[in-house]
């Protein structure tokens, strides 16, 4: 804490001013409302009350200017000594000396326009609502230059409250993120799908392939995992008779951190009975077009150097065709040796063993094809080896009824016609376990309860996972996931 400011607290108390008063301060307008309505309706602004942080002081002799920043924006304040004739120390001492930038302040007065044309609140009374004991990194801007910008990403994320105070644009990002989530929720609710909550603490993890976080329940003396996915629980609900369920799911993966990955992240997953992945593609197009329109008021979004158009329909391309048109080679029937040769040719390292042919192909796709897909593109019909929870393709048993939606070179959504044959499902999971065991990885117990649920019969179902963080990155035009997470994971201080 700043000793100068601590001394000011003592001085305020001596003057009978509580630096942290209890009484509420009722506001009746905001900075943005004043700017919007005052020019037409001046009479409505004879007695305004607003609250926010003291953001700038331009002190002069008997009159001074200041700037107040509230949630809606900034507005200039005007103080005159004459207004405080009964207690001049309120102006000379309290306002001029004891109030600091960053203090939370309530003001009362009338709106006017200065000679230079700036809409300003002429303050007649003010009350300190909370003292700010640490100096804020307040930026000063001119047309050419920004002074003292608060830019260190670590500090911004570690002290997000300061970042939010200082950078109005950061608040906009998180408002927009909430708009995105709400418009997805509205879209699903309008169609009658049921929002549910399923366990975050799971005795067996599944539904994706990732290392989990492990924890322990004392009373049951039981190992538990933070979910890496909620897929298997939502499918149990389809077995249970719901025809459409979704969940905004915070998932946890014990893996590396980079600008696309945080150990906890958010997906929305949707499962709809009696539908397939072709139907789901159309739903996703409608969903995204609608969400983007509601969030931005149009269907296009600038992301880095690209303008991306979310208006339906989206291009559709089959997995092997996408690889062929990108590399000029049909890789589907190449031998393992030929695939390794191709990876060498393209200067790509091999995956860590044990790997299958499909893993080599996946590497080609991930490194060479996916990054080139900028406009929303459905890549369909993935190899069966890569998709253990997806139904085999109706016309080609080596493929699955699966699509990923790629936007700006990154996976945004993943969907299947869900595998509902319990015998096939068991075999596929067993094969995955065998592969893990061969790679020396810790064995993952089979989710027997999930298989039991399937044995009771799951209707044919279309399932979708959509990455909320990635969507927010796109619609906010930010290059890293940390910018759309209020509190991204950091090392301890």
Partner RNA sequence: GACUCCGUAGCUCAGUCGGUAGAGCACUUGCCUUUUAAGCAAGGGGUCCUGGGUUCGAGUCCCAGCGGAGUCACCA
In this complex, which beta carbon is closest to RNA, that of residue 110 or of residue 242?
A: 110
Q: What share of the chain is helix, strand, coil (3-state, %, to 5)?
A: 35, 25, 40
Query: Does residue 229 interact with RNA by CB under 7 A?
Result: no
Show Cβ contacts of residue 425 under 8 Å, excluding neighbours closer than 6 positions: 389, 419, 451, 454
Binding residues with RNA: total (CB under 7 A): 72
Q: Which of 21, 88, 153, 445 forms a contact with RNA (CB under 7 A)?
A: 153
Q: Which of 57, 250, 306, 410 forms a contact with RNA (CB under 7 A)?
A: 57
Q: What letters, b where the CB count within 10 A reaches 16 and e where it falls short, cover 289-309?
A: bbbbeebbeeeebebeeeebe
Query: Does residue 386 interact with RNA by CB under 7 A?
Result: yes
Where in 63-82 is the site for RNA (CB under 7 A)?
63, 65, 76, 78, 80-82
Query: Does residue 255 interact with RNA by CB under 7 A?
Result: yes
Contact region with RNA (CB under 7 A), list: 180-188, 329-337, 362-370, 451-459: 362-370
Q: What's the CA gap between 195 and 230, in Å, rounded?
A: 13
Q: Which of 19, 109, 206, 388 forms a contact with RNA (CB under 7 A)?
A: 388
Where in 436-475 is the site for RNA (CB under 7 A)?
436
In this complex, which beta carbon is closest to RNA, that of residue 296 or of residue 334?
A: 334
Q: What's the CA gap between 121 and 51, in Å, rounded?
A: 12
Where in 262-321 is the site for RNA (CB under 7 A)?
none
Where in 235-254 is the site for RNA (CB under 7 A)?
253
In this complex, which beta carbon is closest to RNA, that of residue 228 or of residue 471?
A: 228
Query: Does residue 22 interact with RNA by CB under 7 A?
Result: no
Residue 328 half-sphere exposure toward CB, CA atoms < 13 A:
1
- Provide the minimum distance between the beta carbon of 100 and RNA in the complex, in angstroms, as a whole number: 6
Q: Which of 61, 169, 192, 297 forms a contact with RNA (CB under 7 A)?
A: 61
CA angle 59, 63, 69 (to 5 degrees): 60
Query: Does residue 168 interact with RNA by CB under 7 A?
Result: no
Where in 206-225 is the site for RNA (CB under 7 A)?
208-211
Task: State the binding string over 393-432 for RNA (x if CB under 7 A, else -).
Answer: ---------------------------------------x
Is 308 within 8 Å of 317 (Cβ atoms)? no
Is 175 within 8 Å of 475 (Cβ atoms)? no
Show Cβ contacts of residue 172 under 8 Å, excluding neighbours closer than 6 positions: none
Spatial CA neighbour of 248 closest among 149, 144, 177:
177
Tokens in use for 262? 């945080």
Tokens in use for 342? 């191709």
């Amino acid at each position: 804490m700043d000793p100068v400011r601590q001394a000011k607290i003592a001085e305020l108390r001596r003057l009978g001013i509580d630096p942290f008063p209890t009484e509420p301060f009722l506001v009746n307008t905001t900075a943005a409302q004043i700017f919007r309505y005052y020019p037409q309706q001046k009479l409505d602004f004879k007695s305004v009350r607003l609250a926010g942080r003291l953001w700038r002081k331009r002190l002069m002799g008997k009159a001074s200017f200041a700037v107040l920043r509230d949630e809606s924006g900034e507005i200039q304040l005007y103080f005159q000594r004459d207004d405080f004739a009964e207690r001049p120390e309120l102006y000379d001492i309290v306002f001029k000396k004891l109030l600091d930038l960053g203090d939370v302040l309530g003001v009362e007065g009338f709106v006017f326009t200065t000679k230079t044309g700036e809409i300003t609140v002429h303050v007649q009374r003010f009350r300190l609502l909370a003292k700010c004991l640490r100096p804020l990194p307040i930026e000063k801007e001119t047309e050419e230059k920004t002074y003292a910008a608060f830019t260190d990403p670590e500090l911004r994320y570690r002290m997000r409250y300061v970042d939010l105070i200082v950078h109005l644009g950061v608040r906009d990002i998180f408002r927009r993120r909430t708009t995105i989530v709400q418009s997805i929720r509205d879209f699903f609710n309008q169609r009658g799908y049921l929002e549910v909550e399923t366990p975050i603490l799971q005795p067996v993890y599944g539904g994706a392939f990732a290392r989990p976080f492990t924890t322990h329940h004392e009373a049951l003396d039981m190992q538990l995992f933070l979910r890496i996915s909620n897929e298997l629980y939502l499918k149990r609900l389809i077995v249970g008779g719901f025809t459409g369920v979704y969940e905004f799911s915070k998932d946890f993966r014990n893996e590396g951190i980079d600008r696309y990955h945080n150990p906890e992240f958010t997906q929305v997953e949707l499962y709809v009975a009696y539908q397939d992945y072709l139907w789901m593609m159309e739903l996703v197009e409608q969903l995204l077009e609608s969400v983007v329109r509601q969030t931005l008021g149009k269907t296009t979004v600038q992301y880095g150097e690209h303008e991306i158009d979310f208006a339906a329909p989206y291009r559709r391309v089959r997995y092997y065709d996408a690889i062929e048109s990108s590399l000029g080679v049909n890789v589907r029937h190449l031998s393992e040796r030929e695939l390794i040769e191709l990876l060498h040719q393209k200067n790509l390292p091999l995956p860590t063993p044990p790997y299958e042919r499909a893993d080599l192909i996946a590497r080609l796709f991930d490194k060479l094809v996916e990054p080139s897909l900028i406009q929303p593109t459905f890549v369909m019909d993935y190899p069966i080896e890569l998709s253990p929870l997806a139904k085999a393709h109706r016309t080609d048993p080596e493929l699955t009824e699966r699509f990923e939606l790629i936007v700006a070179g990154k996976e945004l959504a993943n969907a299947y016609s869900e595998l509902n044959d319990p015998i096939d499902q068991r075999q596929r999971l067993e094969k995955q376990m065998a592969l893990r065991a061969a790679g020396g990885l810790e064995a993952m117990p089979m989710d027997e309860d999930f298989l039991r649920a399937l044995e009771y019969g799951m209707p044919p179902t279309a399932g979708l996972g959509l990455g909320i963080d990635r969507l927010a990155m796109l619609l906010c035009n930010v290059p890293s996931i940390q910018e759309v997470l209020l509190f991204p994971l950091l090392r301890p201080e």
